[in-house]
Structure 1
Amino acid sequence: MMDERQPGRDLYWRDRDGSSYRCPGCGRPRDAVDGIELHHQDRRRNNNDPDNLIGLCRDCHQDGEHGNRRLPSHLEAPAPRDVDAPKPATGGPS
């Protein structure tokens, strides 16, 4: 049996490059989210008008758009890459 939401997903990704994805809700890149879900802005699953579709990370979609209908994610906020964490200051003024 085919998933009734698959045509919308196919339409959304048809002209998009998934490797450059950033969630429009939180700004995290694809490798910092635990999934990408298709959101219908008008909340009608069968309205696959491209202007009605948004690809949100799972956290923004479930927690933000649909009022926490799942347990909150345990993802941490993304950190800049190739940057060392700040080190605590040692010693005081001389």
Structure 2
Amino acid sequence: MADQRQLGRDLYWSDRDGSSYRCPGCGRPRDAVDGIELHHQDERKHNNDPNNLIGLCTDCHQDGKHGNRRVSKRMQPPSPRDTSAPSPSPDAPGF
């Protein structure tokens, strides 16, 4: 018996150009994501109808669709911005 998930992957990529891939969830290109996972929109992993399949980056798939929070190795935690009041300078006087 064939692996149904592999059949779904093969079907999804059969008419798509992987080099121009952008995640439909976050818009990142292929070289900016850790991986691409096939998501079954109806959450039935054996329903490989092409209209049911969507290729999401690992982060969007695991966090957005399945609630399994996983932080990408490529993503850095945000750093806090300087919250001190700006000081006037000769080039940019304060008002």
What's the TM-score bracket when you normalise by the shorter of the two chains? 0.7 to 0.9
Residues 1:15 and 2:15 aligned together: yes
Q: Which amino acid aligns with 2:49?
A: D
> What's the offset of the Cα at 1:74?
3.0
Aligned length: 80
Matched ranges for 1:31-46 at <5 A: 31-46=31-46
Gaps of 5+ in 2: 77-88
Structure 1 runs (4+) deviating above 2 angstroms are 1-4, 74-77
**CA offset at residue 34 of structure 1?**
0.2
Task: For residues 19-41 of structure 1, give each alpha carbon's deviation from its aligned partner in whole angstroms, at most 9, with x where no partner exists.
Answer: 00000000000000000000000
Deviating more after overlay: 3-12 vs 32-41: 3-12
Supply the distance in 1 between the matched residues of 2:65 and 2:28 (Cα, whole angstroms).
Answer: 17
**TM-score (normalised: structure 1):** 0.76
1:75 counterpart = 2:74: yes
CA RMSD of aligned residues (A): 2.1
Equivalent-residue separation in structure 2 for 1:71 and 1:56 (angstroms): 14
Residue-by-residue CA offset, 1:44-77 (whole Å, 9 max, x unaligned): 0000000000000000000110002x53223227
Aligned-residue sequence identity (percent) comes to: 77
Return the index of the structure with the highest Cα Rg.
2
Stretches of structure 1 lacking an aligned partner (at least 5 in a row): 78-91
SS in 2 for 1:8: helix
